[in-house]
Structures are given as structure tokens and as C-alpha cells.
């Protein structure tokens, strides 16, 4: 098997119904339902104007500053896919700009997660296709390879396999493994219900705050105020 320079098919991908269900959920609540230990890193910030993202992952591993495999991934994308690129976080050269963005919109791509830089920022804001990237630079990319498509990649310790669910909003990006989708969804819905109950209690002034003093006591905190 070739290592570092290959294009593979996806064996499976999250279905449209599941994508639609998760699209309604805040990333923070999904994250809480995954033990708060998974994240694509705080440097990946929204480059679009507003809105959330949800879709099935096409994964790309590329040489820093090189977008040959990203071009191919856009060619391969099915409507609703999110293209996730591990380019090492290097910001020297942009991975994509206005022209690639326009082509991706034409292809029906649902969003991008780029561990690297973009350019033509105004186009990303105006088009408003969900795009999360690590930075911005005017310097363009190379197109020489090597790279890989549809292999398991890692962004800041969070692994993304081809076909996994990828979601994003103003709080950042999160991948939900294909095999854990139903478990995570059920846990997130329970989290949503608990938060709605808590918000109602806050609004009505009936929320129980006794847990704060209990936690402080358990932590050995000495309260000298009273």
C-alpha cells in the first residue's frame, strides 16, 4: 500500500437524516456529551459570516501549503460533504481562495475545515459557506503533492475518519465518530432537556445554587466571608 500519496474511497458515511438532526444542536452541547475531551483546536475559527455546519467528512492530508489533494477532494465531493484538511497548521501559504470556494459551492460542498490558511477572506464572508481555518495569508498555494484523501487524520489530537460527522458553529469544530452517532445524539438530547429545565428555573428565580458551596467544601476551600 502506498503511504503518503494515495486516494481512497469512503467505505461508509453518515446519512442525511442524522446530519439534519445534529445540525440543530449546539456544538458545545454535543461536546459536553462526548466527555469534553474532543476538539479540533481553538485555532480553527469561522471565516464565514455566520451559521453552523454539519456534514459527512471527506478527509485530506496534504503537505503544508500545497492544495493539489484539496482540489481533487472538491472534485470527488458529494453534495453535503464537509472537506477536512490536515495541512500541519502551517500558515505560510493559503490552501484555498475565492476561485476554489466558488467551485466548491457549485459542487454542493457543505463546508471546509482547514488546518492551514485561506486567502480572499471577503469572498468567504460574502459567500458564507461554512469554513473554519487556522489563519489568513495572501500568499498562494503550491500544487505538487504529495497527499492523501480519505484516510484517518488528526487535528489537535481529534481523529476524523472518512464518513464521520463533522459539525461546527461559532464555538468551533467537532467530529463525531460514525459508530458513536446514536449514542452521542441521545446524550446530547438529554443535555438539551436538562439545560432547558435549568434555564426555566433561572428565569423563574428557582434555580438551586447549593451545589456551588458543596463543591467548594469538597475542594477544601476555607470561606472567611461569614
* Binding-site residue set for Mg(2+): 120
In the chain, which ranges are E strands? 5-7, 45-46, 53-62, 81-86, 94-96, 111-118, 131-136, 147-149, 153-155, 158-160, 165-169, 172-176
Q: Point out the annotated binding site.
A: 97-100, 119-120
- Enumerate the known binding-site residues for substrate: 97-100, 119
Q: Is 222 helix (H, G, I), strand (E, B) or coil?
A: coil
Q: Which three cell numbers stand for residue 24?
A: 440543530
**Any long-range contacts for 68-71 (C-beta under 8 Å, 24+ apart)?**
68/142, 68/143, 68/144, 68/145, 68/147, 69/7, 69/145, 69/146, 69/147, 69/148, 69/149, 70/95, 70/96, 70/100, 71/100, 71/143
Sequence-ordered alpha helix ranges (H) in 24-67: 27-32
CA–CA separation, 26 and 197 (whole Å): 16
**What cell was used for 15?**
446519512
Q: What is the CA radius of gyration of the chain?
A: 20
Q: Alpha-carbon distance 4 to 105, whole Å? A: 28
Amino acid at each position: 500500500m502506498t503511504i503518503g500519496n494515495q486516494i481512497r474511497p469512503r467505505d461508509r458515511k453518515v446519512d442525511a437524516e442524522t446530519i439534519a438532526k445534529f445540525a440543530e444542536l449546539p456544538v458545545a452541547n454535543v461536546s459536553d456529551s462526548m466527555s469534553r475531551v474532543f476538539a479540533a483546536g481553538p485555532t480553527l475559527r469561522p471565516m464565514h459570516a455566520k451559521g453552523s455546519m454539519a456534514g459527512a467528512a471527506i478527509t485530506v492530508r496534504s503537505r503544508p501549503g500545497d492544495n493539489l489533494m484539496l482540489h481533487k477532494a472538491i472534485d470527488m465531493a458529494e453534495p453535503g460533504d464537509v472537506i477536512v484538511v490536515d495541512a500541519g497548521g502551517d500558515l505560510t501559504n493559503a490552501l484555498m481562495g475565492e476561485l476554489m470556494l466558488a467551485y466548491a459551492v457549485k459542487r454542493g460542498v457543505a463546508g471546509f475545515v482547514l488546518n492551514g490558511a485561506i486567502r480572499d477572506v471577503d469572498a468567504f464572508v460574502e459567500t458564507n459557506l461554512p469554513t473554519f481555518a487556522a489563519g489568513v495569508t495572501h500568499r498562494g498555494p503550491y500544487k505538487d503533492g504529495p497527499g492523501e484523501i480519505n484516510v484517518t487524520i488528526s487535528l489537535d489530537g481529534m481523529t476524523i475518519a472518512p464518513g464521520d460527522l463533522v459539525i461546527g458553529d461559532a464555538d468551533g469544530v467537532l467530529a463525531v465518530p460514525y459508530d458513536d452517532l446514536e449514542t452521542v445524539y441521545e446524550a446530547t438530547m438529554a443535555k438539551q432537556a436538562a439545560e432547558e429545565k435549568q434555564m426555566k428555573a433561572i428565569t423563574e428565580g428557582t434555580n438551586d445554587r447549593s451545589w456551588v458551596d458543596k463543591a467548594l467544601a469538597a475542594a477544601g476551600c476555607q470561606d472567611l466571608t461569614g
